[in-house]
A and B are shown apart, each in its own frame.
Chain A
Amino acid sequence: MLSSTADHLYWMARSMERAENTARMLDVTYRMSLFKQVLIEPHHEWRAMLSISGLHEGFEERYDTLNAENVLHFMALDKENPGSIYNSIFIARENARAVRGSITSEMWEILNSTWLEMRRIHDEGIPIDGVSRFFEWVKERSHLSRGIAHGTMLRDNTFRFIRLGSFLERADNTARILDVKYHILLPSLRDVGGAADYYQWSAVLRSVSAFESYRKVYRDQITPKRVGELLILRPDMARSLITCVNEVHRLLLEINGPHSTELIDRCSQFHARLHTETIDGIFEYGLHEYLSEFLEQIYDLGNLINTTYFWSTDE
C-alpha cells in the first residue's frame, strides 16, 4: 500500500476516534460538574479536563473566563482549537477525501455526511440543554463509521491501518479519561469513599460505556481499584488499555513488512510488560504516574509507526 494512503487511513480513523473520545471526556466532565459540593474551586473539573488534554494554554489564549460554556464551546465547536470535535471530524473527513479511492463508498459517505452535519451544527450552535444530545450524536457517528468499516471493507492492510489508528487513539484516550479522576480528585481527598467519590467513578465508567460491564463483572460496589483493573487490565473490555494494546500488537504483526523489526520489537515489549502488571502493583506505583508513562509509550509507538510505514522523517 502507498505510504501516504496508509498515513491518511490511520489519521482518518484516529481523528474520528478522537472526536468520539473528546465527546466522552466532555461528557464525563459534564457529569462530574453536577456535583459541585466536592469541589474546592468552581469549574475545577473543566480546568482538569483542559490540562489532561494538553489544551490549557490554547484555551487561555482564546477565552477570558473559565466556565462550562466556554470550555464546551472550545472543545466542541471552536475552529481555532485543533483538538476540537469540529476539527477532529474535519480532519477525519479530509483524510478520507484524500483516500476515497481506497475506502468503500459507504465509508466515505458516512464521514462526508458527518462533516456536513457538523458544519450545520457549528453554524447553529449547541444550546446548553442540547450538550448531551450532541455528545450522543458524535458517539453514534463514530460507531457508525466503525461499523461501516467492519461491515464493508476488505480485510487487507487498508482495514488494518484504520484499526491501528482507532486502537492507538483509544488507548491514549482511555488512559486520559482514567486520569481525569486523578486531576479532579486531588483537592478533595477527604471525600474518598463518600457519595461524591462513588458518582465520580461511576461517571468515569459511564463515559467509557463500562458501567454495565462493571456490574456484570464484579457484582459489587464501585471501588477505584476495580475500576482501574477493568479499564487497564481486563482483556474482555472493549476500551481497556490492554485490549487496545493487544489489538495494536496483533495488527502490527499482521501488517509486518520488511522494515518493521524495530517497531514490532518495541510493541512486543510493551505488550508483554502490560501482561505482567497487576492492579495492586499499579496502585502501589501510583495510578497517575503509571498512566503518564503509558501515554508516553503510546506516543513513542505512534512516532515509530510514522517512520516505519509513512516514510515520515520528522519527529
Chain B
Amino acid sequence: MKTAYDEMYAADGSVRESYKSYANWFQSIPDEVITRKREAADIAFHRAGITFAVYGEASSQERLIPFDIIPRIIPSQEWQRMTDGLRQRVKALNAFLHDIYHKQEILKAGVIPAEQILGNNQFRREMVGVDVPENIYAHIAGVDLVRADTGNNCGEYYVLEDNLRTPSGVSYMLENRKMMMRLFPELFSRQKIAPVEHYPDLLLNNLRSVAPYGVTDPNVVILTPGQYNSAYFEHAFLAQQMGVELVDGNDLFVQNENVFMRTTEGPRRVDVIYRRIDDDYLDPQVFRSDSMLGVPGLFSAYRAGTVTLTNAVGTGIADDKAIYVHVPEMIRFYCGEEPILSNVPTWELSKPEDLKYTLAHLPELVVKEVHGSGGYGMLVGPTASTDEIRLFREKIIANPNGYIAQPTLALSTCPTYVESGVAPRHIDLRPYVLSGREITMVPGGLTRVALKEGSLVVNSSQGGGTKDTWVLEGEN
C-alpha cells in the first residue's frame, strides 16, 4: 500500500496552505487546555444523549460516536469541484431511476446489461410505471468520497458508494459543528468557514418541493422504525430541527388511498413522508408481511400519488454495488458529459476474468458484498488474517455474483487524537445532496475517521469516529 495523502501535511512535512491558520493556533494552545476541551465535549455529547445503537451488542444499547476535535479542512476550490461532480452524479442517478422504472432506454441501448437490473432483487417491479413528483427518486443522497494518493501528491477524490436509500449521519455533521463552535469559538473568527447550520431548512424546502401535485401547504413527517433503531437520535433531531412530526408506523393509517396520522384532534392528512425505514418494511401488504414497522396500504396510496415517499421506493437498485460500476456510463448517457468525480476501479466478480484476478490477489484487495452496507460483511485484504481470507474465499466461490472487489486505496489521513497523542488516521467524507425541484447542499459533510491504526474502516458500527468538516470560503 502506498503512503497515504495527508490532509494537513505535505510530503515534505510542511503544513498545507488550508491548514496553516489552524496549525498556528493549535501550536499556541497548551496541551492541558485541549485535554479539558476534549473532556467537555465528551460530557456534553453524553448529556445531550447524542448516541447511536450498535446491533448485536448486548452490553450497552447506546454508545457515543467518538468525536475528534481536529477538523478536516477542505479548500474552497476543491469543494467547488466536488460539488459540481456530486450534482452531476446525483442528477444522472435520478435520471437512471426514472428510466429503469419507465422506458428502460439505458437497457435498450445496451449500456447496462438488462439482466443485471431486472434480475436484481433491489429492482422493485412494483415501481414500474409509477410516476413520482419532479421525477425525483433519490431526494437525499449521502455520497461517500475518499481521497487517495495517485502518485502526484494531489490526492484525487473517488466516489466509494452512492447511498441512496436512507443515508444517515447528517445529525453528526450538525452536532459536530455546534460542538466545535462551543469549544473553540475563536477559531471561527480566525478563518471564514462556510456554515452548515441551515441544512434542516434546505431539507424541509426540498421535502416540500416534492409534495403531491396540487398540495400547497404539505404536511411533512419523518417515519422512524422507532427509538431502538441505531439512528433514532438523528430521526428525532431532524424532526425537531424542521419542526415536523416524528412518526412511527402505528401513528399512521391509510383510508381510501390517503395517509393520515392519529392526532389528539382526530385524523390529519399526511402529504410527504421522509421515511427512514427500508422498502422491505414499508407496507406489510406489499413487501414483507411480517413487518411491524410499516403502514398497511401505504404503497397503494403512494401509487395513487396522494403521498410522496422520500426517498422513493426502489432507489436501492441505483446504489447497489453491482450497479455502481456503471455510474460513469450513466453520466455520459443521461447528461452527455464526462464524469467529474471518478469511481474506484472495481472488479465485478460475476465476470470470470475479474473473479480469477480477485481470487489470486485477495490479500491486496477490499471485497464487499453487493448488497451490504455499514461496513458489515467486507474483507480488507491487507489487514485480514490468513484464516479470514480463506473463509472469505469460500464465500466468494460459493456466490461470485454477490461480491465486488476494489484495490485497497490508501485513504487520505488527518491528524487525530488517539491514546498515544496525535497521529494520522484514515478518513472519508459523506456530503449530503438534496434533490427536489432543484439540487441543493450545504458546504461540508460528515467526516468519518478510522481510529484504529492502519484501519480503513470508518463506519461507526466498526469503531469509527467523526470530525467537524470545514469548507473554507474565499481564497485559500
A→B interface (CB under 8 Å): 1-6, 94, 97-102, 105, 108-109, 112-113, 116, 157, 161, 255, 257-259, 309-311
What's the least CB distance linking A206 to chain B, in Å?
A: 33
A2 touches B247 (CB 8 A): yes
B239 touches A4 (CB 8 A): no
For chain B, residues 251 to 270, give those with C-beta under 8 angstroms from any C-beta of chain A.
251, 261-266
B250 touches A102 (CB 8 A): no
**Chain A residues, Cβ within 8 Å of B232:** 97
B→A interface (CB under 8 Å): 46-49, 227, 232, 235-237, 239-240, 245-248, 250-251, 261-266
**Chain A residues, Cβ within 8 Å of B246:** 99, 101-102
What's the least CB distance linking A162 to chain B, in Å?
A: 13
B48 touches A309 (CB 8 A): no
Most buried by A among B46, B48, B247, B265: B265
Q: A102 vs B245: C-alpha distance in the bound complex, in angstroms?
A: 8
Shortest Cβ-Cβ A-B pairs, 8 listed:
A101-B240, A101-B239, A101-B236, A3-B262, A309-B264, A112-B49, A101-B246, A257-B265
Given contacts A2-B245, A97-B232, 14 further A-B contacts (CB under 8 A): A1-B264, A2-B261, A2-B263, A3-B264, A4-B250, A4-B251, A101-B239, A102-B246, A109-B47, A109-B48, A112-B47, A257-B264, A259-B266, A310-B264
**Chain A residues, Cβ within 8 Å of B263:** 1-3
**Chain B residues, Cβ within 8 Å of A311:** 262
Most buried by B among A6, A98, A100, A255: A100
Contact sample, A vs B, 26 pairs, CB 8 Å cutoff: A1-B263, A2-B247, A2-B261, A2-B262, A3-B262, A3-B263, A4-B247, A4-B248, A4-B250, A5-B245, A6-B264, A97-B49, A99-B246, A101-B237, A102-B240, A108-B48, A108-B49, A109-B48, A109-B49, A116-B47, A157-B264, A161-B264, A257-B265, A258-B266, A259-B266, A311-B262
Closest to A309 in B: B264
**Chain A residues, Cβ within 8 Å of B46:** 116
Q: A284 vs B235: C-alpha distance in the bound complex, in angstroms?
A: 57
What's the least CB distance linking A309 to chain B, in Å?
A: 4
Most buried by B among A1, A4, A161, A310: A4
**Chain A residues, Cβ within 8 Å of B265:** 1, 257-258
Closest to A5 in B: B245
Most buried by A among B248, B263, B264: B264
What's the least CB distance linking A114 to chain B, in Å?
A: 11
Task: Decide: A100 near B240, CB < 8 A? Known: A2-B263, A5-B245, A255-B264.
Answer: yes
What's the least CB distance linking A305 to chain B, in Å?
A: 10
A3 touches B251 (CB 8 A): yes
